[in-house]
Amino acid sequence: MTLSAIETLALSTAAHARLALSRQPSDALATYFELKAAAESSDKVRMDRMHAFPGSGHAEDDDEVFVVDMLDAIEKTAKAMADFARLALKAAHAGLVDAAIDGSLDSDANAWHLPSYAEANLNNVAI
């Protein structure tokens, strides 16, 4: 399965946040895939057995959590983050289209403030 750039960023961010990694966020994706590999070998691996992952500061409450459950939580968070990002991009696009149609779009792309276009149109594209 190939992940889009948005999906990859969301997965990395979700893993970094959920695992409370002290390492760089960019390292979180590798840790996620290492956990995924461990879970594929056995669905009974618990997080407290995964201290081989340096920099993991997962909460002690998570020690009894199975790795497959941690992965499920990370994946659900990542999906929600990716969906949000797509919605914000859709809103920004809608704002740019509206501005182009009504003639208010500046011809200098450097002047475009995409967050403003997204904010102005989020209610129009909301699920």
Q: What is the pLDDT of residues 45-94, one digit of tens each?
A: 877 776 545 445 555 556 677 889 999 999 999 999 999 999 999 999 99
C-alpha to C-alpha distance for 87 and 125, rounded to whole angstroms: 7
pTM of the model: 0.80
Tokens 């959920």 sit on residue: 18
Domain count, the chain: 1
Which residues, 6 or more positions from 40, have their beta carbon under 8 angstroms from its beta carbon? Answer: none
Name which of 3, 22, 26, 27 is nearest 78 in CA terms. Answer: 3
- Domain span holding position 53: 5-125
Name which of 69, 71, 66 is nearest 45 in CA terms. Answer: 66
**What are the residues facing 46 on neighbouring strands?**
66
Tokens 């997204």 sit on residue: 118
For residue 25, the model assigns a pLDDT of 74
C-alpha to C-alpha distance for 21 and 54, rounded to whole angstroms: 8
